[in-house]
């Protein structure tokens, strides 16, 4: 159990008009901020907290495909590369781009093994889900990643069936690359099944932050420069495809204006790489409370001095969001309650 090393990161409050607010819930967590060499600069809680990376891993799951020349082989565009890294919302532009990827590799949605569900678009925008609609695997937030998985299979002329299994050559190639990136023996990377059925890996938060510091430097990465550069350029150039309307990664990459690369993960993981500062940031809320994650992230960016006036305006909704009841009455708020410590 790692929770003993976490600290309170975010509190939610409750009150009554005119009576003031009282802390109702406290959410523990950890933060790691590292430089391009992996040196820890700042932290909160346990910076080496072992956590599943979830969708924060997606850019790096695409690395084996890019390193093998797959993007050139199939003529993938920059927007299509962005979809390989996406937790998209199932908007029309997202679905069309996944279809374009599948067409280029000569496959269709029936080969996707991610399952299907209601697109994130509705939750993000607070819209009711149309009862008459049905969904396909194309609408799954991981369908871009899975289309990249299929592209790797086509590139290497291996069977696509079962590509999410640990024993498949694709997943073995990804695991080997994850070990290299995390600076850990493959055997020391705990594996779990992600929501989309693909293997996912746990690693110390500081190692995940280091991976994003490296992604942020893009083409300057000493080992994977060309591929890292392609991924950084695709994600920062098309944050709307990596994320979606009213979603956090679109907000952060828009605020960063080409300098920040961001990727959220399920169960309250947020990562950001900042090119100009040469840093990577990884944040984990221990209980997985996603409604608190962006308040913690805003506080980290603020305490690191990364928020100018424009960034504050764009990210204000995350600073101290109000909590309302079903009638729309304000009943409390969510606020950060930690200070980063210099390493």
- Using a cut of 0.95, tell me whether the model's pTM lies above it: yes
Query: pLDDT tens digits for 140-182?
Result: 999 999 999 999 999 999 999 999 999 999 999 999 999 999 9
271 pairs with which residues across the strands?
263, 282
Which pair of structure tokens corresponds to residue 231?
């991924």
Taking residues 271-276, report their average pLDDT.
98
Judged against a pLDDT cut of 50, whether residue 183 lies above it is answered with yes
Query: Cα(47)–Cα(343) distance, rounded to whole angstroms?
Result: 10
Three-state DSSP class for 5?
helix
Query: pLDDT tens digits for 31-65?
Result: 999 999 999 999 999 999 999 999 999 999 999 99
pLDDT confidence of residue 1: 46
Phi then psi for residue 90, to 5 deg, are 75, 20
Q: For residue 42, give the H/E element and its range.
A: strand 40-44
Q: By C-alpha distance, which of 205, 273, 186 is closest to 9?
A: 205
17 — pLDDT class (breaks 50, 70, 90):
confident
Side-chain-facing half-sphere of 256: CA atoms under 13 Å: 27
Query: Cα(61)–Cα(45) distance, rounded to whole angstroms?
Result: 28
4 — pLDDT class (breaks 50, 70, 90):
low
pLDDT confidence of residue 2: 47
Give the residue, 117 or 51, on which the prediction is more confident.
51
Q: By C-alpha distance, which of 131, 186, 132, 145 is closest to 54?
A: 145
Query: Cα(147)–Cα(221) distance, rounded to whole angstroms?
Result: 26
Query: Cα(211)–Cα(193) distance, rounded to whole angstroms?
Result: 21
Average pLDDT, the chain: 97
Written out in words, the top-level CATH class of the domain with range 3-342 is alpha beta
Query: To which residue do tokens 């399952």 refer?
Result: 115
Phi then psi for residue 69, to 5 deg, are 80, 20
Query: pLDDT tens digits for 78-113?
Result: 999 999 999 999 999 999 999 999 999 999 999 999
Strands 40-44 and 7-16: unpaired
């Amino acid at each position: 159990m790692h929770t003993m090393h976490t600290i309170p990161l975010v509190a939610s409050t409750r009150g009554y008009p005119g009576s003031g607010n009282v802390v109702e819930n406290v959410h523990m967590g950890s933060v790691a901020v590292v430089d391009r060499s992996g040196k820890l600069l700042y932290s909160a809680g346990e910076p080496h907290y072992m956590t599943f990376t979830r969708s924060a891993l997606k850019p790096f799951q695409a690395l084996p495909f890019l390193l093998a020349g797959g993007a050139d082989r199939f003529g993938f565009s920059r927007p299509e590369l962005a979809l390989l890294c996406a937790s998209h919302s199932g908007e029309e532009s997202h679905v069309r781009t996944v279809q374009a990827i599948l067409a280029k590799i000569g496959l269709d949605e029936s080969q996707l093994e991610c399952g299907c569900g209601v697109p994130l678009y509705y939750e993000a925008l607070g819209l009711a889900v149309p009862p008459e609609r049905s969904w396909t695997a194309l609408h799954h937030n991981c369908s871009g990643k899975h289309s990249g998985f299929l592209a790797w299979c086509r590139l290497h002329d291996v069977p696509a069936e079962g590509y999410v299994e640990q024993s498949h050559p694709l997943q073995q190639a990804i695991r080997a690359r994850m070990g290299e990136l995390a600076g850990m023996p493959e055997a020391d990377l705990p594996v779990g099944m992600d929501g989309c059925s693909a293997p996912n890996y746990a690693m110390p938060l500081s190692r995940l932050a280091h991976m994003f510091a490296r992604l942020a430097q893009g083409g300057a990465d000493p080992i994977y420069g060309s591929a890292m550069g392609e991924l950084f350029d695709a994600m920062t150039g098309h944050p709307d495809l990596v994320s979606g309307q009213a979603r956090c990664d679109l907000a952060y990459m828009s605020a960063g204006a080409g300098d920040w690369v961001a990727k959220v993960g399920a169960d309250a993981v947020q990562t950001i790489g900042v090119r100009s500062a040469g840093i990577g940031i990884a944040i984990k809320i221990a209980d997985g409370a996603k409604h608190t994650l962006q308040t913690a992230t805003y506080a980290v960016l603020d305490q690191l001095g990364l928020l100018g006036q424009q960034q504050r305006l764009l990210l204000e909704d995350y600073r101290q969001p109000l909590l309302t009841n079903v009638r729309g009455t304000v009943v409390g708020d969510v606020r950060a309650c930690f200070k980063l410590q210099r390493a």
